[in-house]
Protein backbone atom coordinates (compact mmCIF):
# COMPACT_ATOMS: atom_id res chain seq x y z
CA UNK A 1 0.00 0.00 0.00
CA UNK A 2 1.48 3.32 -1.09
CA UNK A 3 0.19 6.31 0.83
CA UNK A 4 0.65 9.64 -0.91
CA UNK A 5 -0.19 12.77 1.09
CA UNK A 6 1.46 15.20 -1.32
CA UNK A 7 -0.34 18.53 -1.44
CA UNK A 8 -1.71 18.12 2.10
CA UNK A 9 -0.80 20.29 5.06
CA UNK A 10 -0.73 18.65 8.48
CA UNK A 11 -0.46 20.07 11.97
CA UNK A 12 0.80 17.76 14.72
CA UNK A 13 0.63 19.26 18.20
CA UNK A 14 3.34 18.38 20.68
CA UNK A 15 5.52 17.09 17.85
CA UNK A 16 8.99 17.99 19.09
CA UNK A 17 9.57 14.56 20.63
CA UNK A 18 8.12 11.11 21.28
CA UNK A 19 4.95 9.99 19.54
CA UNK A 20 4.33 13.45 18.07
CA UNK A 21 7.74 13.59 16.42
CA UNK A 22 7.24 10.08 15.02
CA UNK A 23 3.85 11.10 13.60
CA UNK A 24 5.31 14.26 12.06
CA UNK A 25 8.09 12.18 10.52
CA UNK A 26 5.65 9.61 9.15
CA UNK A 27 3.40 12.26 7.58
CA UNK A 28 6.42 14.01 6.06
CA UNK A 29 7.67 10.73 4.64
CA UNK A 30 4.25 10.27 2.99
CA UNK A 31 4.69 13.64 1.28
CA UNK A 32 2.68 15.94 3.50
CA UNK A 33 3.78 19.44 4.44
CA UNK A 34 4.00 19.22 8.22
CA UNK A 35 3.73 21.98 10.82
CA UNK A 36 5.85 21.00 13.82
CA UNK A 37 4.46 22.34 17.08
CA UNK A 38 5.93 22.85 20.52
CA UNK A 39 5.92 25.57 23.15
CA UNK A 40 9.37 27.01 22.37
CA UNK A 41 10.92 28.03 19.04
CA UNK A 42 14.13 26.29 20.08
CA UNK A 43 12.53 22.88 20.63
CA UNK A 44 10.63 23.21 17.35
CA UNK A 45 13.81 24.12 15.46
CA UNK A 46 15.66 21.14 16.94
CA UNK A 47 12.80 18.78 16.01
CA UNK A 48 12.70 20.07 12.43
CA UNK A 49 16.43 19.47 12.14
CA UNK A 50 16.03 15.87 13.33
CA UNK A 51 13.06 15.16 11.06
CA UNK A 52 14.88 16.69 8.09
CA UNK A 53 17.74 14.25 8.63
CA UNK A 54 15.30 11.33 8.63
CA UNK A 55 13.29 12.62 5.67
CA UNK A 56 15.57 14.58 3.31
CA UNK A 57 13.60 17.16 1.37
CA UNK A 58 10.68 17.17 3.80
CA UNK A 59 8.60 20.35 3.80
CA UNK A 60 8.44 21.33 7.46
CA UNK A 61 6.88 24.45 8.92
CA UNK A 62 7.84 25.73 12.38
CA UNK A 63 4.69 26.35 14.42
CA UNK A 64 5.70 27.20 17.99
CA UNK A 65 2.67 27.94 20.17
CA UNK A 66 1.11 27.00 23.47
CA UNK A 67 -2.10 25.40 22.23
CA UNK A 68 -3.42 25.03 25.76
CA UNK A 69 -4.36 28.72 25.64
CA UNK A 70 -6.67 30.80 23.45
CA UNK A 71 -3.87 33.26 22.75
CA UNK A 72 -1.52 30.47 21.72
CA UNK A 73 -4.01 29.09 19.21
CA UNK A 74 -4.61 32.60 17.87
CA UNK A 75 -0.87 32.96 17.22
CA UNK A 76 -0.76 29.54 15.59
CA UNK A 77 -3.59 30.42 13.20
CA UNK A 78 -1.61 33.43 11.99
CA UNK A 79 1.09 31.01 10.84
CA UNK A 80 -1.28 28.28 9.74
CA UNK A 81 -4.74 29.55 8.81
CA UNK A 82 -5.94 26.16 7.53
CA UNK A 83 -4.88 22.53 7.57
CA UNK A 84 -5.92 19.35 5.78
CA UNK A 85 -4.82 17.04 8.58
CA UNK A 86 -5.04 17.92 12.27
CA UNK A 87 -3.38 15.57 14.75
CA UNK A 88 -4.08 16.42 18.37
CA UNK A 89 -1.15 14.67 19.97
CA UNK A 90 -0.27 17.00 22.83
CA UNK A 91 -0.78 15.37 26.20
CA UNK A 92 0.65 15.12 29.70
CA UNK A 93 0.68 12.26 32.20
CA UNK A 94 1.94 11.71 35.71
CA UNK A 95 1.61 9.06 38.39
CA UNK A 96 -0.17 10.48 41.45
CA UNK A 97 -2.23 8.62 44.08
CA UNK A 98 -5.92 9.24 43.36
CA UNK A 99 -6.72 10.94 46.65
CA UNK A 100 -3.79 13.33 46.27
CA UNK A 101 -4.88 14.86 42.96
CA UNK A 102 -6.19 18.34 43.74
CA UNK A 103 -8.52 20.53 41.69
CA UNK A 104 -5.69 22.46 40.05
CA UNK A 105 -4.16 19.25 38.74
CA UNK A 106 -7.51 18.02 37.40
CA UNK A 107 -7.92 21.36 35.60
CA UNK A 108 -4.38 21.24 34.21
CA UNK A 109 -4.89 17.77 32.78
CA UNK A 110 -8.21 18.61 31.19
CA UNK A 111 -6.92 21.92 29.80
CA UNK A 112 -3.97 20.16 28.17
CA UNK A 113 -5.37 16.77 27.20
CA UNK A 114 -8.93 17.71 26.25
CA UNK A 115 -9.52 21.41 25.74
CA UNK A 116 -6.43 21.95 23.59
CA UNK A 117 -7.83 19.40 21.14
CA UNK A 118 -11.37 20.80 21.33
CA UNK A 119 -10.05 24.31 20.71
CA UNK A 120 -8.10 23.27 17.62
CA UNK A 121 -10.91 21.15 16.19
CA UNK A 122 -13.27 24.08 16.63
CA UNK A 123 -10.71 26.25 14.82
CA UNK A 124 -9.91 24.03 11.84
CA UNK A 125 -12.90 21.74 11.33
CA UNK A 126 -15.21 24.38 9.76
CA UNK A 127 -12.72 24.98 6.93
CA UNK A 128 -12.42 21.25 6.31
CA UNK A 129 -16.21 20.92 6.14
CA UNK A 130 -16.39 23.84 3.72
CA UNK A 131 -13.77 22.20 1.48
CA UNK A 132 -15.48 18.81 1.93
CA UNK A 133 -12.16 17.18 2.77
CA UNK A 134 -9.97 16.72 5.81
CA UNK A 135 -8.79 14.50 8.60
CA UNK A 136 -8.96 15.10 12.35
CA UNK A 137 -7.16 12.67 14.65
CA UNK A 138 -6.80 12.84 18.42
CA UNK A 139 -4.27 10.64 20.17
CA UNK A 140 -5.99 8.98 23.12
CA UNK A 141 -4.75 6.10 25.25
CA UNK A 142 -5.58 2.67 26.56
CA UNK A 143 -5.92 4.52 29.87
CA UNK A 144 -9.14 6.02 28.51
CA UNK A 145 -10.72 2.57 28.64
CA UNK A 146 -8.73 0.92 31.43
CA UNK A 147 -8.35 3.73 33.98
CA UNK A 148 -5.00 3.24 35.77
CA UNK A 149 -5.21 3.57 39.53
CA UNK A 150 -1.96 5.55 39.62
CA UNK A 151 -3.21 8.31 37.28
CA UNK A 152 -6.98 8.54 37.14
CA UNK A 153 -6.85 12.22 36.10
CA UNK A 154 -4.91 11.24 32.97
CA UNK A 155 -7.17 8.31 32.15
CA UNK A 156 -10.35 10.31 32.66
CA UNK A 157 -9.08 13.14 30.45
CA UNK A 158 -8.43 10.66 27.67
CA UNK A 159 -11.92 9.20 28.11
CA UNK A 160 -13.29 12.71 27.59
CA UNK A 161 -11.15 13.02 24.46
CA UNK A 162 -12.79 9.89 23.00
CA UNK A 163 -16.21 11.42 23.62
CA UNK A 164 -15.28 14.77 22.12
CA UNK A 165 -13.86 13.09 19.02
CA UNK A 166 -17.03 11.06 18.49
CA UNK A 167 -19.15 14.18 18.89
CA UNK A 168 -17.15 16.22 16.39
CA UNK A 169 -17.39 13.33 13.92
CA UNK A 170 -21.16 13.80 14.04
CA UNK A 171 -20.68 17.52 13.36
CA UNK A 172 -18.88 16.54 10.13
CA UNK A 173 -21.46 13.93 9.08
CA UNK A 174 -22.21 13.73 5.38
CA UNK A 175 -18.96 15.42 4.34
CA UNK A 176 -15.60 14.19 3.13
CA UNK A 177 -14.11 14.94 6.55
CA UNK A 178 -13.34 12.13 8.97
CA UNK A 179 -12.80 12.53 12.70
CA UNK A 180 -11.25 9.71 14.71
CA UNK A 181 -9.33 9.05 17.87
CA UNK A 182 -6.40 6.67 18.18
CA UNK A 183 -6.11 4.52 21.30
CA UNK A 184 -2.37 4.19 21.80
CA UNK A 185 -1.09 1.52 24.14
CA UNK A 186 1.92 1.74 26.47
CA UNK A 187 4.57 3.35 24.27
CA UNK A 188 8.33 3.64 24.55
CA UNK A 189 9.26 7.31 24.83
CA UNK A 190 11.71 9.22 26.99
CA UNK A 191 8.91 10.41 29.23
CA UNK A 192 7.62 6.88 29.63
CA UNK A 193 11.08 5.67 30.63
CA UNK A 194 10.96 8.14 33.51
CA UNK A 195 7.43 6.97 34.34
CA UNK A 196 8.48 3.30 34.30
CA UNK A 197 11.35 4.03 36.67
CA UNK A 198 8.98 5.84 39.00
CA UNK A 199 7.16 2.52 39.46
CA UNK A 200 9.98 -0.04 39.41
CA UNK A 201 13.51 -0.32 40.81
CA UNK A 202 15.63 2.47 39.30
CA UNK A 203 18.74 0.27 39.51
CA UNK A 204 17.38 -2.20 36.96
CA UNK A 205 18.75 -2.08 33.39
CA UNK A 206 16.17 -0.70 30.97
CA UNK A 207 15.21 -4.04 29.37
CA UNK A 208 14.59 -5.59 32.78
CA UNK A 209 12.76 -2.49 34.03
CA UNK A 210 10.48 -2.56 31.00
CA UNK A 211 9.64 -6.24 31.51
CA UNK A 212 9.01 -5.68 35.21
CA UNK A 213 6.76 -2.70 34.46
CA UNK A 214 4.72 -4.66 31.91
CA UNK A 215 4.44 -7.65 34.25
CA UNK A 216 3.34 -5.64 37.28
CA UNK A 217 1.43 -2.70 35.80
CA UNK A 218 0.37 -3.65 32.24
CA UNK A 219 -0.07 -7.45 32.31
CA UNK A 220 -2.96 -7.32 29.81
CA UNK A 221 -0.61 -6.44 26.93
CA UNK A 222 -0.61 -9.20 24.33
CA UNK A 223 2.69 -8.14 22.76
CA UNK A 224 4.23 -7.93 26.26
CA UNK A 225 6.45 -4.99 25.37
CA UNK A 226 6.19 -1.26 24.97
CA UNK A 227 5.05 -0.03 21.58
CA UNK A 228 7.52 2.01 19.53
CA UNK A 229 6.35 5.52 18.53
CA UNK A 230 6.73 4.67 14.83
CA UNK A 231 4.07 1.98 15.25
CA UNK A 232 1.59 4.62 16.41
CA UNK A 233 2.63 6.83 13.49
CA UNK A 234 1.89 4.11 10.93
CA UNK A 235 -1.77 4.02 11.94
CA UNK A 236 -2.04 7.81 11.99
CA UNK A 237 -0.60 8.06 8.47
CA UNK A 238 -3.10 5.48 7.22
CA UNK A 239 -6.05 7.24 8.87
CA UNK A 240 -4.85 10.50 7.30
CA UNK A 241 -5.05 9.00 3.82
CA UNK A 242 -7.79 8.40 1.26
CA UNK A 243 -7.63 4.70 2.13
CA UNK A 244 -9.42 5.50 5.40
CA UNK A 245 -12.26 7.48 3.81
CA UNK A 246 -14.97 5.31 5.42
CA UNK A 247 -13.43 5.29 8.89
CA UNK A 248 -14.91 8.05 11.03
CA UNK A 249 -16.26 8.48 14.52
CA UNK A 250 -14.01 5.63 15.60
CA UNK A 251 -11.65 4.91 18.45
CA UNK A 252 -9.04 2.93 16.55
CA UNK A 253 -6.67 0.84 18.63
CA UNK A 254 -2.92 0.46 18.27
CA UNK A 255 -2.48 -0.82 21.80
CA UNK A 256 -0.64 -4.11 21.49
CA UNK A 257 -3.83 -5.91 22.52
CA UNK A 258 -3.76 -4.18 25.90
CA UNK A 259 -7.48 -3.36 26.10
CA UNK A 260 -9.25 -6.64 26.92
CA UNK A 261 -12.27 -5.97 24.73
CA UNK A 262 -13.43 -6.84 21.23
CA UNK A 263 -14.72 -3.28 20.71
CA UNK A 264 -13.66 -0.58 20.18
DSSP symbol at 111: I
Is 67 among the domain residues?
Answer: yes
Is 128 among the domain residues?
Answer: yes
pLDDT at 128 over 80: yes
Q: 107 and 233: one domain?
A: yes
Q: 43 and 152: one domain?
A: yes
Q: Which of 154, 197, 238, 258 is catalytic?
A: 154
Per-residue confidence (pLDDT) for residue 247, from 0 to 100: 98
Q: What is the mean pLDDT of residues 168-172?
A: 98
Is 257 among the domain residues?
Answer: no
Q: 161 and 76: one domain?
A: yes
DSSP symbol at 226: P
3-state SS assignment for residue 257: coil
Q: What is the mean pLDDT of residues 139-166?
A: 96
The lowest-confidence range among 105-114, 153-162, 219-228 is 219-228
Q: 72 and 199: one domain?
A: no
Q: Judging by beta carbons within 10 Å of its beta carbon (0-12, 13-18, 19+), is residue 233 exposed, middle or buried?
A: buried
Is 63 among the domain residues?
Answer: yes
DSSP symbol at 10: E
Q: 49 and 154: one domain?
A: yes
Q: What is the mean pLDDT of residues 204-208?
A: 93
- Contacts for 180 with CB less than 8 Å, ≥ 6 apart: 136, 137, 138, 165, 169, 239, 244, 247, 248, 249, 250, 251, 252
Q: 39 and 119: one domain?
A: yes
pLDDT at 191 over 80: no
Q: 161 and 182: one domain?
A: yes
Q: 115 and 207: one domain?
A: no
- pLDDT tens readout for residues 24-60: 999 999 999 999 999 999 999 999 999 999 999 999 9
Per-residue confidence (pLDDT) for residue 195, from 0 to 100: 83
Task: Name the region of 179 (left: φ>0; alpha: ψ -120 to 50; beta: rest).
Answer: beta
The side-by-side arrangement of strands in the sheet containing 33-36 is: 60-62, 33-36, 9-12, 85-88, 134-141, 177-184, 251-254
Between 195 and 28, residue with greater pLDDT: 28
Q: How many domains does the chain have?
A: 2
Q: 180 and 219: one domain?
A: no
**Domain of residue 241, residue span:** 9-187+228-252
Per-residue confidence (pLDDT) for residue 263, from 0 to 100: 79
Q: 165 and 200: one domain?
A: no
Q: 214 and 232: one domain?
A: no
3-state SS assignment for residue 208: helix
pLDDT at 116 over 80: yes
Per-residue confidence (pLDDT) for residue 194, from 0 to 100: 87
Per-residue confidence (pLDDT) for residue 192, from 0 to 100: 83
- pLDDT tens readout for residues 225-256: 899 999 999 999 999 999 999 999 999 999 99
Q: Give CA–CA dist 214/193, Å, rounded.
A: 12
Roughly how many angstroms between the first and final C-alpha of the chain, as a whole number? Answer: 24
Q: 199 and 210: one domain?
A: yes
Q: Please answer whether residues 33 and 10 qualify as being in contact, where contact means their C-beta atoms are separated by less than 8 angstroms.
A: yes
Rounded to the nearest integer, the mean pLDDT of the chain is: 96
Q: What is the mean pLDDT of residues 155-160?
A: 98
Is 244 among the domain residues?
Answer: yes
Is 26 among the domain residues?
Answer: yes
Q: Is 154 a known active-site residue?
A: yes
Per-residue confidence (pLDDT) for residue 157, from 0 to 100: 98
Phi and psi of 144, rounded to 5°? -70, -25
Is 261 among the domain residues?
Answer: no
- Assign residue 52 the CATH number of its domain: 3.40.50.720
Q: Give CA–CA dist 232/220, Å, rounded.
A: 19
Q: What is the mean pLDDT of residues 106-121?
A: 98
Which of the four pLDDT bands, split at 50, 70 and 90, describes residue 261? confident
Is 165 among the domain residues?
Answer: yes
Which of the four pLDDT bands, split at 50, 70 and 90, describes residue 69? very high
Q: What is the mean pLDDT of residues 108-126?
A: 98
Q: What is the mean pLDDT of residues 107-121?
A: 98
Q: H-type helices in the chain, by residue range?
A: 18-29, 41-54, 70-79, 103-110, 116-131, 152-171, 190-199, 206-217, 229-239
Amino acid sequence: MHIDLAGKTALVTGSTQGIGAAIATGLARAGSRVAVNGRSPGSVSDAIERISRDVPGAELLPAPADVTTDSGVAELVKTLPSVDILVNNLGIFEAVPALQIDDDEWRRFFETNVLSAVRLIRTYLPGMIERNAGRVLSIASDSAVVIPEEMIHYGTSKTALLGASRGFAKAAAGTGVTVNSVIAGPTHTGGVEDFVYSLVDRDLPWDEAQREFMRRHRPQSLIQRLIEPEEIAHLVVYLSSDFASATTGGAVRVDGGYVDSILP
